[in-house]
């Protein structure tokens, strides 16, 4: 009985270690899309913590501009994340879909970021923003 318990504990520890070492890296996957319905979506977002998909205007310089939409994210894999746009976006405009944290704000579950603020700010991995850029169709 002790041997079986030890074997089960070793298998559990090995499985947990394997899962932790193969944790999903934060990422955003999205394609160019029509935003005529006032919504922009990401096919998949992998988030290391609860947070937000934030939609920034951008251009050829690839700098995040004003926020024009956001949607909540759960830690882990999020499929078909849709954000309602708060401003009109014309075909041909570029949008940056970025992962932001839930940290630093005054209230959990309330998006508090403003451009350049630290509340609910962008997540960076090795100094790089976790984002992708799409073109509105």
Question: What domains can you pick out in the chain, each with its CATH number?
Answer: 25-135 (2.60.40)
Which pLDDT tens digit goes with each residue over 71-126? 999 999 999 999 999 999 999 999 999 999 999 889 999 999 988 888 999 999 99
Residue 1's pLDDT is what?
52
Contacts by residues 68-74 (CB-CB < 8 Å, ≥ 24 positions apart): 68/95, 69/40, 70/100, 70/111, 70/113, 72/109, 73/45, 73/47, 73/99, 74/47, 74/50
Q: How sure is the predictor about 132, in pLDDT bands with cuts at 50, 70 and 90?
A: very high
- Span 10-24, mean pLDDT? 47
Q: What is the pTM of this model?
A: 0.82
Rg (CA), the chain: 19
């Amino acid at each position: 009985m002790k041997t079986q318990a030890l074997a089960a504990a070793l298998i559990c520890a090995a499985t947990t270690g394997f899962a932790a070492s193969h944790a999903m890296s934060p990422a955003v996957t999205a394609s160019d899309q029509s935003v005529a319905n006032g919504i922009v979506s990401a096919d998949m977002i992998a988030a290391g913590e609860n947070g937000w998909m934030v939609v920034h205007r951008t251009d050829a310089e690839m700098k995040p501009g004003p926020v024009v939409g956001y949607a909540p994210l759960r830690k882990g894999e999020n499929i078909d994340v849709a954000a309602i746009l708060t401003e009109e976006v014309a075909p041909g405009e570029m949008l940056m879909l970025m992962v932001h944290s839930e940290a630093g704000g005054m209230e959990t579950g309330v998006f508090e970021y403003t451009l350049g603020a630290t509340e609910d700010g962008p997540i960076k991995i090795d100094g790089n923003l976790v984002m992708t850029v799409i073109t509105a169709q």
